[in-house]
Amino acid sequence: MPRTAPEVHADLVLEPRDVTFDWSGLPLHWIPDEPLATHTINVLHLLLPEGERWFIKVFKDALPLITDEQLREEVLGFIGQESIHAEAHQEVLDHLLAQGLDPRPYVRQIAWLFQRVLGEKPKLGPRQRRENIIERVAFVAAIEHFTAFLGNWALNSPGLDRAEADPTMLDLLRWHGAEEVEHRSVAFDLMTHLDPGYLRRVRGMAVSGPLLVHLWVRGVRFLLAADPTLDGRLVPTWREALDISRRGLLPEPMASLRSGLRYLRRGYHPTQEGSSAQALSYLASSPAARAAAR
């Protein structure tokens, strides 16, 4: 199997960190006085539990196709980390519900999308089933490019500290972001192991990129409308989102777009994005990860 950055893979051992967070003191607008920034980031909690459970299903389906022992170990480590991520974000959803913001109508749509539309197709022959698994792995690889981008942003977002965002939520975002940076190459390496073709990569991004933008915009609108303290008065605009991103509370839209385009470069490999050393350094100091290690 071709390895673009063998030095990174030689000792990539992915350890699931069994973290817990106490949400009892989390304010509804956990970035004070910034409901739009708060809810734009909150879309993560809407998408990730179902999305990451879907990643796990896809990767479990792909396990019998893997012929590289090191990659198999990385995939198993990835599955372990993503299952804890899904649980952690699910607990935030439960907290939102307890605060009077009911996320369930949107989450039901996400569940339908991942389980029905992007789920395993019934009654496929062995060749079609293999093809379907590889296609879904390519979707995961493209989405994992963005989770690593967002994770890298979360690790380098002093604007959130300046805005006095809730420290427990910041730790969730940065612990998760650090693990996304740590395991950023696994889905891509699995895809190229199963199909090294460039077209597979392009198709994965052509579907996943626009889908993510669509789900994010819908998610922000949904959360603002469902927020009981806003009475539907806050209607988001791109101009406002740009202003918030310039203040460092959200990734800049153009930076996100450029990142998506980098994925299409011929010589791209996820290890060119973000820093494993920075991710591991955060994980060594994260309150939740340190408590899990004790």
Range 169-188, binding Fe ion (CB under 5 A)? 180
> Among residues 3, 29, 85, 145, which is the contact residue for Fe ion, using CB under 5 A?
85
53 contacts Fe ion (rule: CB under 5 A) = no
> Long-range CB contacts (< 8 A, 24+ apart) of 87-91?
87/49, 88/19, 88/21, 88/172, 88/176, 89/44, 89/45, 89/48, 89/49, 89/52, 89/172, 89/176, 90/49, 91/21, 91/23
Quick one: 188 exposed, middle or buried, by C-beta within 10 A (0-12, 13-18, 19+)?
buried
Closest approach, Cβ 110 to Fe ion, in A, equals 15
Closest approach, Cβ 125 to Fe ion, in A, equals 30
Applying CB under 5 A, the site for Fe ion has a residue count of: 4
Quick one: 98 exposed, middle or buried, by C-beta within 10 A (0-12, 13-18, 19+)?
exposed
| Amino acid residing at 130 | R
Can you give the C-alpha Rg of the chain in angstroms? 19
DSSP summary character for residue 270: G
Q: Half-sphere exposure (CA, 13 Å, Cβ side) for 200?
A: 21
Closest approach, Cβ 144 to Fe ion, in A, equals 5
Closest approach, Cβ 27 to Fe ion, in A, equals 24
Nearest to Fe ion of 84, 244 (CB atom): 84
Nearest to Fe ion of 191, 224 (CB atom): 191
Closest approach, Cβ 30 to Fe ion, in A, equals 20
Nearest to Fe ion of 35, 270 (CB atom): 270
Instruction: Tell me the residue number closest to Fe ion, measured at CB.
Output: 85
- From 9-17, 24-32, 133-141, 146-154, span contacting Fe ion (CB under 5 A): 146-154
Q: What is the H or E stretch that residue 225 is in? A: helix 198-226
Nearest to Fe ion of 29, 45 (CB atom): 45
Nearest to Fe ion of 38, 147 (CB atom): 147
Measured CA to CA, the distance from residue 259 to residue 144 in angstroms comes to 12
- From 21-29, 80-88, 101-109, 166-174, span contacting Fe ion (CB under 5 A): 80-88
Of 182, 126, 122, residue with least CA distance to 152: 182
Closest approach, Cβ 21 to Fe ion, in A, equals 15
Closest approach, Cβ 147 to Fe ion, in A, equals 5
Q: Which residues bind Fe ion (CB under 5 A)?
A: 82, 85, 147, 180
